[in-house]
Amino acid sequence: MNNYKGHICPRLSRVACFVAAQIALITGTMMTAQARDYFDPALLELGAPGHKAIDLSSFEDKGGQLPGTYRVDVFLNNEKMETRNVEFRMARNAKGSDVLQPCIPVDDLANWGVLVKKYPELGASGSACANLAAIPQANSEFRFERLQLLLSLPQTAVSNSARGWVDTKLWDEGVPAALLNYSLTGANNYARSGQGDDSNNQYVNLRPGINIGPWRLRNYTTWSRSDNGGVNGTAESHWDTVYTYAQRDIISLKSQFTAGDSSTAADVFDSVSFRGAQLASDDDMLPESLRGYAPVVRGIARTNAQVTIRQNGYTIYQTYVAPGSFEITDMYPTGGAGDLYVTIKESDGSEQQLVIPYASLPVLQREGRLKYAITSGVYRSYDNSVDQTALSEGTVIYGLPWGYTVYGGGQFASKYQSLALGLGKNLGDLGALSGDITQSWAKQKNQDKESGQSWRVRYSKNFVQTGTNFAIAGYRYATDGYWGMQEVLDTYTDGNTYTLQERRRNRAELTVSQDLWEGGGNLGLSAAREDYWNTDRRMESYTASYNNSRDGISYGLSYTYNLNSTVNYGAGSHRSGRIYDKDQLFAFNVSVPLSKLFGDKTSTTYANYMLNTSKNGNTTNSVSVGGTTLEDNNLSWSVQQGYGSQGQSNSGAVNTDWRAAYGEINGGYTYDHNSQRMNYGAQGGIIAHENGVTFGQPLGETVALVVAPQAKGVSVQGQTGVKTDFRGYAVVPYTSPYRKNDVTLNTQTFADDTEVAITTQTVIPTRGAVVKATYQTSVGNRVLMTLLRTNGQSVPFGAIVTSKDTQGAEGFIVGDAGQAYLTGLAQNGQLNVKWGSGTDEHCTVMYSLLKVTSSIANINGQCR
């Protein structure tokens, strides 16, 4: 809400605006020879000769307004700085005219990058307001209709900061808060055709946290339960703690300090889980930094399958998929690196295994940039049977001139030591390349000490001209005596038993995406291959995919080849399965919007066809219909029916997912020849803060808390299903740390009695913060009131009306005939009306709206 004289904001009624516009048009036409538009305020009082004219000279110039304090968006050279209250005062400009000028402290200009030391006259007057005239060619423009303050300064007066740079003084550590992220998935499986037994399983992950100042306390705990049923079946359940740590920013070092459970980075060495302390650079604190690599898990399920993803021994994700190709992109961050091991458990008990490379990009830094990580603690395994061996690790990466980057480090423990040295090169149009060598000295349990080397080459490049993107291309070769730290420390288990560890020899990985000719679609390839010195086991996984769309119709093909050693499980049990030694899977899918079939352009429903075949299984054809519905398209649904080439292999599925303001729930039913399954899930986030408890969708690492008092049911733009609760609070689950994030309320979802002056707020959170996006709301009745004095005359045009009961003392301007459009009024109350400083130039109105039922009340008010 705009403010005037101590947070009082004048607003013209619609009638007054119309009258003023017509008079300005007439008088402007009559006096085109004048240098400025002018109209006689006395003309507004025609028909009321007893009124004293009101001083409206402030509105005669373009953009003119009354002095006061207004909440505006501040722009400096077309770049938004922040949204804040700014006081505007009448001051003389360089031409000697009295104009409205913003009062901005010199320190605020410095925070926005203005070189204030270059212009000492900015604060020479001793006033709290900077003298913008001290900067040659500087000017300001107040766009009242948009509530924007535009500052234009010569480029020489502003620091040449990197694009996207945000001053650290503007970083917001957020409010004290307690957080809880929760996710539950489960399934009840019922055997069919007399094969196998019924079973059910559940998986829960909880991620509680506490924010106090710059400190972030986080925990990640999982619980899983499996009941195989049957006569001899037993239910097993267990809790796992993936990590517990405290973390805070070290802004001066552009680093993060972590104490507790975490994992080392995978830039130089393979990631290792530890419990201790770490100080490491945070690239996100730098402008235009490269975001961390996040893998996408893709695969093909032959049947209704359960997908489990493990990292560093911990189960970090579990879900259920229908037959065909699938893609997983919503995994929670685990605070570390390490390859992802994916298990696809089919309905017949068989399994597929995939390995997804993680954090394998070339190591490059800008010239002069130093990136480091120092870690000290004890080794932490996913179970408690491994010794907690003390360890330490240090890595350094430094950007050299001419596009070179040098990096290296060391790992040290009583049973293991290694040193690494590498060099990276920015090849310009040819991409980025890095190579390194690691020398290790290892002593496994009950084994002689060994030494060896590991050689590694990594490459990435995005060829814009040809549309080719090498996300990962890497190769590693290890000599016979080379071991990684985790491989060695895992041998020190409780007791005297010792299992011979596999010795990795070769590893190659590739992920490439190729855009074809215009309209030709995209081709994707990925491959991973590993073999070992002391076993004949070899793991290979190859995937090729093609996707395209035309006129809203999308289609794709994918092929996967997996090679793994045969491993039986469930030995001695009446149930058993096997991991396929070799398997080849092919999938084809096409999706057609129903708008193409029936001409309904507003439809969000799609018809889909999928072909899915496996060398070790059958061929399935499936047809499904699905889409989104509800006002915000936050309910997705699908119905699928499949037909197999082999007898008794038909399948079907029904799935729904609802993203609501207070969380997300999903459920489904699937069946095939082997079993039928009911699966379900729920996830969401809870934030306890100084103003109460707010429920929302699953929280990201850094979140924003919308505070719009009493404005309930208001949606946030760009956030599906996110709405304010009955108190006007909502959680925006994802924001970018150290960056400007605009949080905008959707005006179309405002209630009839709700108004918000500025619907967009900008927040700049630190990592893990809960920052408030606070809005000044006006919730109450809307009234078009005709104000009459005791002598029967209307209140003069331009008088200011305020309500002492309204938050912020919002003000309104009286239009012609004493009419004023008022918002945010209570059912009854008192209004103060003022049109001058004399004792007879103000009055009060007592009003009551108890019998008013229309959305805009039209009443008279007696001003006494």
Domain containing 131 — which CATH number?
3.10.20.410
Asked if residue 124 is part of any domain, the answer here is: yes
Q: Is the pLDDT score of 758 beyond 50?
A: yes
For residue 852, name the pLDDT band (cuts at 50, 70, 90): low
Asked if residue 371 is part of any domain, the answer here is: no
Asked if residue 285 is part of any domain, the answer here is: no
- The residue-averaged pLDDT of 721-727 equals 91
Map residue 118 onto helix, strand or coil.
Answer: helix
For residue 525, name the pLDDT band (cuts at 50, 70, 90): confident
User: Which pLDDT belongs to residue 647?
Assistant: 60
Whole-structure pTM over 0.85, yes or no?
no
Residue 265 and residue 483: Cα distance in Å, rounded? 18
For residue 51, name the pLDDT band (cuts at 50, 70, 90): low
Residue 672 and residue 211: Cα distance in Å, rounded? 47
User: Which pLDDT belongs to residue 154?
Assistant: 79
Asked if residue 596 is part of any domain, the answer here is: no
pLDDT digits (tens, 9 = 90+) for 380-413: 887 677 888 999 999 999 988 887 889 999 999 9
Q: Among 165-179, 309-323, 627-641, 767-781, which is the least confidently predicted range?
A: 309-323
For residue 813, name the pLDDT band (cuts at 50, 70, 90): confident
Region at 780 (left for phi over 0; alpha for psi -120 to 50; beta for the rest): left
- Where a domain ends, among 104, 132, 161? 161
- Full 3-state SS string of 122-174: HHCCCCCCCCHHHCCCCEEEEECCCCEEEEECCHHHECCCCCCCCCHHHCECC
263 phi and psi angles, rounded to 5 deg: -135, 145
Residue 249 and residue 819: Cα distance in Å, rounded? 55
- Where a domain ends, among 121, 138, 161? 161
Residue 714 tokens, joined: 């208001």
The CB density around residue 271, as the number of other CB atoms within 10 Å, is: 22
Residue 762 and residue 214: Cα distance in Å, rounded? 20
Residue 509 tokens, joined: 């990985």
Residue 413 tokens, joined: 């423990």
Task: Give CA separation, 627 vs 591, 603, 697, in Å.
Answer: 11, 9, 20
User: Which pLDDT belongs to residue 206?
Assistant: 93
User: Which pLDDT belongs to residue 592?
Assistant: 87
Burial class from Cβ neighbours inside 10 Å (0-12, 13-18, 19+) for residue 232 reads: exposed
Buried-exposed string 653-691: b where 16+ CB fall within 10 A, e elsewhere: bbbebbbbbbbbbbebebbbbbbbbebbbbbbbbbebee
For residue 733, name the pLDDT band (cuts at 50, 70, 90): very high
User: Which pLDDT belongs to residue 211?
Assistant: 96
Q: Is the pLDDT score of 9 beyond 50?
A: no
Asked if residue 107 is part of any domain, the answer here is: yes
pLDDT digits (tens, 9 = 90+) for 272-327: 889 999 999 988 887 654 343 345 666 777 667 778 777 666 677 777 776 666 66
Q: Which helix (H) or strand (E) holds 107?
A: helix 106-111
Report the percentage of the chain scoring pLDDT > 70: 76
Q: Which has the closest alpha carbon to 586: 604, 551, 562, 554?
A: 562
For residue 808, name the pLDDT band (cuts at 50, 70, 90): very low
68 phi and psi angles, rounded to 5 deg: 160, -170
Q: Which has the closest alpha carbon to 8: 80, 124, 88, 74?
A: 88
Contacts of 761 (CB under 8 A, 6+ apart): 83, 742, 743, 773, 774, 775
Residue 600 and residue 284: Cα distance in Å, rounded? 44
pLDDT digits (tens, 9 = 90+) for 409-458: 999 999 999 999 999 887 766 777 889 999 999 998 888 899 999 999 98
Sort strands 856-863 and 781-789 into parallel, antiparallel or unpaired: parallel
514 phi and psi angles, rounded to 5 deg: -130, 115
Q: Is the pLDDT score of 812 beyond 80?
A: yes
Q: Which has the closest alpha carbon to 671: 196, 303, 202?
A: 303
Contact status, residue 359 vs residue 293, Cβ threshold 8 Å: yes
26 phi and psi angles, rounded to 5 deg: -65, -50
User: Which pLDDT belongs to residue 616?
Assistant: 67
Q: What is the DSSP string of 724-754?
A: --TTSEEEE----TTS-EEEEB-GGG--TTE
- Where a domain ends, among 115, 144, 161? 161
Q: List beta partners, residue 134.
A: none
Contact status, residue 263 vs residue 312, Cβ threshold 8 Å: yes
Q: How far apart are the first and last CA of the chain?
A: 27
Q: Is the pLDDT score of 111 beyond 80?
A: no
Asked if residue 843 is part of any domain, the answer here is: yes
pLDDT digits (tens, 9 = 90+) for 331-345: 544 444 456 778 877
Q: Vertex 301, ends 298 and 306: CA angle to 5°?
A: 90
Q: Give me the domain span that covers residue 800.
A: 780-862
Asked if residue 822 is part of any domain, the answer here is: yes
User: Which pLDDT belongs to residue 386?
Assistant: 85
User: Which pLDDT belongs to residue 575?
Assistant: 42
Q: Is the pLDDT score of 811 beyond 80?
A: no
Q: Is the pLDDT score of 688 beyond 90?
A: yes
Domain containing 830 — which CATH number?
2.60.40.2070
Q: Which has the closest alpha carbon to 775: 754, 804, 749, 752?
A: 754
Number of Cα atoms under 13 Å in the Cβ half of residue 713: 9
Residue 281 tokens, joined: 């650079």
Q: Which has the closest alpha carbon to 561: 538, 590, 533?
A: 538
Buried-exposed string 149-184: b where 16+ CB fall within 10 A, e elsewhere: bbbebeeebbeeeeeeeeeeeebbbbbebbbbbbbb
- Strands, E, within 464-537: which ranges? 468-478, 504-515, 522-532
567 vs 728 pLDDT, higher one? 728
For residue 630, name the pLDDT band (cuts at 50, 70, 90): confident
User: DSSP character for 290?
Assistant: P
Task: List the helix and strand counts (H, then E) for the chain.
Answer: 4, 52
Domain count, the chain: 2
Map residue 121 onto helix, strand or coil.
Answer: helix
The CB density around residue 296, as the number of other CB atoms within 10 Å, is: 12
Q: Among 159-173, 286-300, 591-605, 642-656, which is the least confidently predicted range?
A: 286-300
Asked if residue 844 is part of any domain, the answer here is: yes
Torsion angle of alpha carbons 326, 329, 332, 335, nearest 10°?
A: 120
Map residue 420 onto helix, strand or coil.
Answer: strand
Contact status, residue 195 vs residue 347, Cβ threshold 8 Å: no
